[in-house]
Amino acid sequence: MSILDNVFEFFVEEATEHLATLEDGLLQLEKDASLADELIEPLFRSAHTLKGAANLVNVTDVGSIAHRLEDSLEAIRDGEQVMTGGKVDAMLFALDQMRELIQLRKSGIESPENIVTDVLSKLAKGEVSQDEFVAPLESVTEKELETEDLEQADESVPQPESYVGVERRKPTRRMEEAGVVRVGMNKIESLMGLVGDFTVTKNHLLDRLPVMERMKGEIDFAGQRLLKEVTSFSERYDYTLPQQNAIAGDDAFDELEFDRYDELNLFSRKLREITEDIEEALREMAGFFKVFSQDVLSLDRMTDEMKEQISAARTVQAGQLFQRFNRSIRDLAQEQNKSVELCISGGETAIDRVIYDGLFDPLLHIVRNSFAHGIEPPEERLAQGKQEKATIWLKAERRGNTVEIVVEDDGRGINIDRVRERGIEKGFIREDDLLSEQDLIQLIFRPGFSTTAEADSTSGRGVGMNVVMDRLSSLNGTIDVWTAKGEGSRFRLRLPLSLVIVNVIQFTCCGQKLVIPSALVEEIVDLDYEARNVEGDRFDLMQKVGLASLLNLPSCTEEPKYGIITQSEGTPIMLLVDNVIGQEDTVIKPFGSFLEELPYFSGSSLSGDGTMRLVVNPARMKHQRISVSAVVAPVEQEPVAPKVMVVDDSLSVRKFASLMLKANGFAVVTAVNGQDALDKLEEGENVFSIITDLEMPVMHGYELLIEIQERGIDIPVAVLTSRAGEQHRKEALSLGASDYLVKPFDEEGLVSVVTKHQELARV
């Protein structure tokens, strides 16, 4: 794979982010034109960066469209044009075509002829017909880029830029954000890893507290016995005179009286003194045990608080996830000629970033199903006495250690009769099976199930809700469904607050210690108590799963004593286990590639005493077979090499330049703007060469050159920019730049400049 092909992967993720920024901003402008002054600038910046990144990786079709989009946004920003509904449609159409072009390039397929000409024409006219407007409903990639290993977080999010060239606008003063420190997600992940390890150590200390209390009790008991015996012995022999002295008269008393005590008297007194010392040591040890126990409990509370604080740093508000559905619902409504309003509540609820990234696809499947099976056409709704415009609700709420995400609509509801028919046709159930309505609803989560006979753009392929279940399983989540004919449907997703430190229930089965995330547990049942005190079996209809048999554990000598109620494929089941030990916070480590496809486990965790325990995943306990994937070879570490600093606000440029330099034996430090570069130099980054862009937010390249001169930093600086004008070159060289490269650049030119800088450093 060439360097260009390698960096294209980074471009795809960066382009996805910029296209999402542009789309969200255009949709907001469509709703409220008064936001133009606030939104146009970041949209302009995203289009500009996307143009440069696309041209860098030779996706020139995307670069041409982004350039025209940039010009249109500039004209609106400068007051030469006004934003209209037609312009929004044309720009959204352009975004869709750029996504399509990127996907075609990714798949190695030639782009259709005249596609760029067609898009540019529509952007110029500022309109697009509805039959031409076919917007993709899903992103190019499942996950938006948030961080990478070498960069700080939020580095490509549009920010107020300081310089974009004389032909676009004049430089402005750099504004500093007070009280804000930007920390990369990779650093937060490292902190969470340390907190996880700290939590395991804390659990070990908590597990040792009962042992210490028991030891303290035994020492106290032994000490009291020793004190009692020594006291009794001392009382008898401390001052008892030898027999010959005891019968002597008063005349026998002289100055040598103390010498007449025998060794037994002396030993008794020494024993008393030693015992008093031991008693004092026991009192100090008891005080130490008390303080130590309090310190460990305080450590437990502080660890929980530290986990909460650091977890909060890697959370995202649910509203950011929900807002991504504005476009999908808009396009689905236009495509199916349905009037639908999206209502959001609980948008301020914080969810883990990993869960945020993994939830979009499941929620999109549910929303698409609402359109395909639930939301009625306007005329049908009016005939039923409903509002013409349907409503889809997206709600989020925190409940204890879990987050609830609800997708609800006011459509026709799930057709239970049709579900039963399709279940029989698929062989999932028999005609004589007596199933409750809730049991029938759970059939929608079975692989290959769909109530639509023919596939269309929103349903019929039998993968939607199965994908939802699989994704939730990987996130340690559950789902339940409510529906009512003519009233609508509600899908409630329950997920843990964090996927790093997870609260688990500890239990044993046939002598094996296992755990299950408490977010997956609905109830724990004492089977003996249930049998003695409850008339009939209230869990008679619930499927009971013997873990010993399912996991092929050694045969047990005792009957299971507890039942753990959880869900498998959307159906409540009871796991039969020997004993429930308790619960604790722990770190779940996912399996490596060799074991990652085991369906009944989601990883492993360490207990406080260092015991390794498997983490049970009940999601597919009914119909999945165990499979093992191939082993992936470890990635070799790169050798240490002389360092070059690459300063650019474009992820693609940073990656492209980094890969070129690394291929030629150099190490690379990256920075997202001039201020970031200066901060890293002050932190001690030892580089012999700096490659910098001109147009960057916070601190542009010219300001960086000025700061380097004023601070006396003796490092050669080469400018790498898309500005080919002579005045830009002269300005950069006058401010101390040693070289001037124009994008797109080639490997030979870049390496030649860096090699020259390396020779200068050796002189």
Whether pLDDT at 259 is above 60 = no
Per residue in 315-357, pLDDT (tens digit) is: 788 888 888 788 788 888 888 888 888 899 998 888 887 788 8
Average pLDDT, the chain: 77
- pLDDT value of position 56: 80
CA dist list (Å): 176 to 111, 182, 415: 44, 12, 57
Query: Alpha-carbon distance 341 to 378, whole Å?
Result: 13
Closest by CA position to 715, among listed 742, 676, 754: 754
CA dist list (Å): 513 to 354, 588, 605: 28, 15, 11
- pLDDT value of position 704: 93
- pLDDT value of position 268: 74
Per residue in 553-604, pLDDT (tens digit) is: 776 767 888 999 887 766 788 888 888 988 887 777 767 656 656 667 877 7
Same fold, 3-144 and 501-616: no
Whether pLDDT at 406 is above 90 = yes
Q: Is 200 helix (H, G, I), strand (E, B) or coil?
A: helix
Query: Alpha-carbon distance 558 to 576, whole Å?
Result: 12
Instruction: Show the 3-state SS of 595-652.
Output: CCCCCCEEEEEECCCCCEEEEECCCCCCCCCCCCCCCCCCCCCCCCCCEEEEECCCHH
CATH no., domain 501-616: 2.30.30.40
Pair 697, 673: CB distance under 8 Å: yes
- pLDDT value of position 4: 60
- pLDDT value of position 698: 85
Whether pLDDT at 438 is above 60 = yes
Whether pLDDT at 146 is above 60 = no
Whether pLDDT at 176 is above 80 = no
- pLDDT value of position 489: 92
Report the range of poorest mean pLDDT among 32-46, 157-171, 242-256: 157-171
What are 381's two structure tokens?
């709704």
With pLDDT > 70 as the criterion, what percentage of the chain qualifies?
A: 78
Size of the chain, expressed as the number of residues it contains: 763
Q: What phi and psi, each to the nearest 5 degrees, are found at residue 579?
A: -155, 145
Mean pLDDT of 499-519: 83
Whether pLDDT at 425 is above 90 = no
Beta carbons within 10 angstroms of residue 82's beta carbon? 11
Pair 667, 641: CB distance under 8 Å: yes
Whether pLDDT at 51 is above 70 = yes
- From the centroid of its chain, how far is CA 253? 91
Check if CATH label 3.30.390.50 holds for domain 343-496: no
Mean pLDDT of 33-47: 84
Query: Alpha-carbon distance 457 to 647, whole Å?
Result: 43
Most confident of 447-461, 520-534, 721-735: 721-735
Whether pLDDT at 641 is above 90 = no
696 or 540, greater pLDDT = 696
140 or 611, greater pLDDT = 611
Whether pLDDT at 271 is above 60 = yes
Domain boundaries, the chain: 3-144, 186-313, 343-496, 501-616, 643-762
Closest by CA position to 458, among listed 450, 469, 466: 450
Q: 207-241: b or e for each residue (b if 16 or more CB lie within 10 Å)?
A: eeeeeeeeebeeeeeebeebbeebeebbeebbeee
pTM: 0.49
According to CATH, the topology of domain 643-762 is: Rossmann fold (3.40.50)
Whether pLDDT at 737 is above 90 = yes
Mean pLDDT of 201-218: 76
Structure confidence at residue 442 as a pLDDT band (50, 70, 90): confident
88 or 244, greater pLDDT = 88
- pLDDT value of position 139: 38
Structure confidence at residue 395 as a pLDDT band (50, 70, 90): very high
Whether pLDDT at 476 is above 50 = yes
- pLDDT value of position 463: 43
- pLDDT value of position 500: 66
Architecture of domain 3-144: Up-down Bundle (1.20)
Most confident of 86-90, 405-409, 756-760: 405-409
Per residue in 59-72, pLDDT (tens digit) is: 888 989 999 998 88
Most confident of 141-150, 303-312, 314-323: 314-323
Query: Alpha-carbon distance 401 to 350, whole Å?
Result: 12
- pLDDT value of position 490: 92
- pLDDT value of position 45: 84
Task: Give the residues across from 601 on adjacent strands.
Answer: 616
